[in-house]
Structure 1
């Protein structure tokens, strides 16, 4: 080695480390496939768990107000977008008249789609209080109002759950109409 820490060939330690970091950073992106992507416009929604996992989510399957369903987006090629925990989707049917004005354009007949990941520390949203009409996170007991676009009703979470815009597909199937958004309103899809 010479005085500046370079090996014979002109490569120093800093160059090796920088190259390794670049390789790892781009290598992950190169290995990510469509199953790792978040839900996208045109995806259809299927049931995410239980005996009927993989079946299309339809308005008829969410006929009852207060129904809570875990869903997964499926791209047009049939690939489930379930490789990332941030692609978890919670569907809740609420009375259409109870839905906040700015949320209505993102819903279909009272069905609201929200991220299934708590904005506090990333736990899975899995509770539903039918009486209070609130979603809850069992890790730290944050509560969210689906009819108000995932607004925080009780902390420690401070940010609302992102809303996933919905559309009605063939036979009442639910489709993704845009990307998750934290600020629902006209023109955000």
Structure 2
């Protein structure tokens, strides 16, 4: 009987371990999000929240040195890509000559699009300093340089923010020109 009890206990432990493995696998899938939930080439950008939510993002609506804008990608059928929190996009506009040479192909007239998810622990980037030209995460105070491809200016984050290449559409609207330069989401702590 002791043998049966040990076996039952072993199965319970195994079940727990298999459950933990399954949870991790599901958690990682949810973390990454389905690829079709992320912005895709050809999507147009619309304002993500506030009084102007859903309106197309235009160059005219993004003055140099203006506010940080949260945006959402919308596919050709008009469906917002909101199936993953990693689809969140932030837009800033700097003077075109301030954009690093390596990032100019991804920008449109000084407008840069980056993942809104901090690479430290996944908080939403919500700060923008006109003076320092840095994005900031208020959770742990990481700072990023969008004009330098989302490079980390101040940790604890160690990975740069993924950049979303942009193109200019009809009437100065902003379009997605390709996928994020890296998978968005938190990196190593």
1:129 CA displacement: 1.1
Aligned residue for 2:144, secondary structure, equals: strand
Number of the residue aligned with 1:170 = 170
Number of the residue aligned with 2:108 = 108
1:167-189: CA deviation from partner (whole Å, max 9, x where unpaired): 00010000000000149xxxxxx
Number of the residue aligned with 1:92 = 92
State the TM-score, normalized to the length of structure 2.
0.78
Aligned residue for 1:117, secondary structure, equals: coil
1:40-99: CA deviation from partner (whole Å, max 9, x where unpaired): 000000000100100000000002324310000001111001121100000000011111
More helix by share: 2
1:99-153: CA deviation from partner (whole Å, max 9, x where unpaired): 1111000000000000000000000000011111100000000000011011000
Quick check: 1:59 aligned with 2:59?
yes
Number of the residue aligned with 2:125 = 125
Aligned residue for 1:125, secondary structure, equals: coil
Give unpaired runs (5+ residues) of structure 1: 6-12, 184-189
1:33 CA displacement: 8.0
Q: Provide the C-alpha distance between the structure 2 equivalents of 1:74 and 1:180, rounded to a whole number of angstroms.
A: 15
The 8 Å contact of residues 66 and 133 in structure 1, kept in 2 or not, is answered as no
Q: Provide the C-alpha distance between the structure 2 equivalents of 1:112 and 1:152, rounded to a whole number of angstroms.
A: 15
Is the deviation greater in 59-68 or in 135-144?
Answer: 59-68
Name segments (4+ residues, structure 1) moved above 6 Å. Answer: none
Aligned residues: 166
Give unpaired runs (5+ residues) of structure 2: 1-6, 184-189
State the TM-score, normalized to the length of structure 1.
0.78
- RMSD value, Cα: 2.8
The 8 Å contact of residues 64 and 110 in structure 2, kept in 1 or not, is answered as no
Number of the residue aligned with 2:74 = 74
